[in-house]
Amino acid sequence: MAYEFITTRTEGEKVGVITLNRPKQLNALSPALMVELGQALKAFDADEAIGCIVITGNEKAFAAGADIGAMATYTFADVYRDDYITRDWETIGGIRKPVIAAVSGFALGGGCELAMMCDFIIAADNAKFGQPEIKLGIIPGAGGTQRLPRAVGKAKAMDLVLTGRMMDAKEAEAAGLVSRVVPLDKLMDEALAAALMISGYGRMAVMAAKECVNKAFEGTLADGVMFERRLFHALFATADQKEGMDAFVNKRPAAFKNQ
């Protein structure tokens, strides 16, 4: 299948590799890209030869978040009624084969959330993680407020979500967000070696292992994500969301009015 915003390939006939491919926009996750990502994930999940999937970006960015340009003028009606932005994000949760995020460069906002939706993250030493939505007058809207505390604990999650600061790969590893950090030029070798190893194990055991580890975390996650979704949508009714995104698009400092 031909894609516009991602590329796909297989490695060793057993691993599906999906590369996010909007380099000029730092792989900003537009609705169209997320549709393609969902299609590619489902295709690899359905392919009997494939035992594991790797999602990656480029050296500078895994993904710098949802596409701010596309979101900037959305209203509450757009995002709530049509579930814009986040509609196609939950596909990844339904993928039964393991999905590894191989992250180099920025993994911010929806980029960090996408990485966290994967089963584990292998990071290059230049990776930077963060949830900077607060700077745009919104909050994380693709599970970040729920998955980040589960991964790194409340204190660091609050720090990251409330300040919008980035953490580097070393801090992310120490906090438990990433499973391993490797030199940038070894990132794909390491991720593919892990994926090939997983692909070599019994498919049902691998799927069961994934399902069980996820059970440990998913108690109230669905409620939490839905709660987050409603508030994320509600923020599109505020003037500060318009101001924050307009300021980003026009490359000027934001002047929030708390309205």
**Contact flag: residue 20 with ligand CAA (CB under 6 A):** no
User: How many angstroms separate the CA atoms of 62 and 176, rounded?
Assistant: 19
3 state SS of 188: helix
Give the catalytic positions in this structure: 66, 110, 113, 133
> What is the DSSP secondary structure assignment for residue 12, as one 8-state letter?
T
Q: Tell me whether residue 23 or residue 94 sits nearer to ligand CAA (CB atom).
A: 23
Q: Tell me whether residue 51 or residue 109 sits nearer to ligand CAA (CB atom).
A: 109
**Contact flag: residue 64 with ligand CAA (CB under 6 A):** yes
Name the segment binding ligand CAA (CB under 6 A); options: 62-70, 172-180, 222-230, 234-242: 62-70
> What minimum distance in Å lies between the beta carbon of 32 and ligand CAA?
13
Tokens of 45: 């999940």
> What minimum distance in Å lies between the beta carbon of 257 and ligand CAA?
20
Contacts 24+ apart (CB under 8 A), 208-215: 210/96, 210/97, 210/98, 210/119, 211/96, 213/119
Measured from the Cβ of residue 192, the count of other Cβ atoms closer than 10 Å reads: 22
Q: Which helix (H) or strand (E) holds 56?
A: strand 52-56
Q: Tell me whether residue 133 or residue 190 sits nearer to ligand CAA (CB atom).
A: 133
Q: What is the contact surface with ligand CAA in residues (CB under 6 A)? A: 25-26, 28, 64-69, 85, 106, 108-110, 113, 132-133, 136, 140-142, 144
